[in-house]
Amino acid sequence: MPKVLITGAAGFIGSHLCDKFIDEGYDVVAMDNLLTGSLSNISHLFHLRQFEFYHHDVTKFVHVPGKLDCILHFASPASPIDYLKMPIQTLKVGSLGTHNLLGLAKEKNAKLLIASTSEVYGDPLVHPQPEEYWGNVNPIGPRGVYDEAKRFMEAITMAYNTYHGVETRIVRIFNTFGPRMRVDDGRVLPSFISQALKGEGLTVFGDGEQTRSFCYVDDLVDGIVRVLNSDYNLPINLGNPDEITILEFAKEVLALVGNPNAKIVYKDLPIDDPKRRKPDISRAKSILDWIPMTSRAVGLENTLPYFKDKILT
């Protein structure tokens, strides 16, 4: 059976990748330091012979015995509330962690896919954002620890690809949602659904006219697998180009939860918060034959029961 190492495996996206690769017939080695991940996301896999878990920090030396066919590097704090609290850890997992895993990939002759992000585009001056856009990032602003960690990830990954011949893949992930998101992770969807279920006012930063594009996690996982199995080594955007303002999204969530008259609470926009975010997925369409198949409405309906279970029980 092919063998895959998934870092950040107890996190939101990482845990769904564990499920996917188990279903695809892989032996899965899951690795996480549980800084932001939770064992509850992968506990249903512990009884399986083809699944093993390593409680380990990838910024330290990484060893996996035996053969290894591929590595998916998804370890990192991913929400502003986390990487603002843990700036050094965020920079280290993007730099030292990626370096360690590239070394492991080189040793094992394994393929490495890294999880980059739409945040490499910063507060974009080009809309929608194509992979050719170099971005508008403030390297010393509060978000710089995450943005620059991911930009460095891409740079060192390409260096290992060109200099050492390591087979690498880069996905730039736009806003993704679904079950297993942390209720308190501070991102807009968990915040809105949690506040709506608790009967609280929904917190909107700025005037709410900034935009985001939300991709359901099953579509993202499908795209990641297609990238891994492709022969394309430059960055590929994965996200849903269905753009919506934050204020419109707040109203959608309130209608979904059945609390359409709840209050909207406006607060100051955080420093360097992107005003617009929408992926250009032309490259994914042409190279991977991939487009997101799940509408935001269906994705929200699939996600709501998870949050109800976490918040109301």
Q: If you write DSSP's letter for every residue of 64-130 in order, what string do you get?
A: --S---EEEE--S--SHHHHHH-HHHHHHIIIIIHHHHHHHHHHHT-EEEEEEEGGGGBS-SSSSB-
Q: Output b/e per residue, 200-214; b: 16+ Cβ within 10 A.
A: eebebeeebebbbbb
Q: Which of 26, 83, 121, 146 is catalytic?
A: 146
Q: Is 160 a catalytic residue?
A: no
Phi, psi of 173 (to 5 degrees): -95, 125
Q: In Å, what is the CA distance from 110 to each residue of 29, 66, 123, 217?
A: 14, 12, 35, 25
The alpha carbon of residue 268 and the mean position of all alpha carbons in its chain are separated, in whole angstroms, by 25
Which of the residues are catalytic? 146
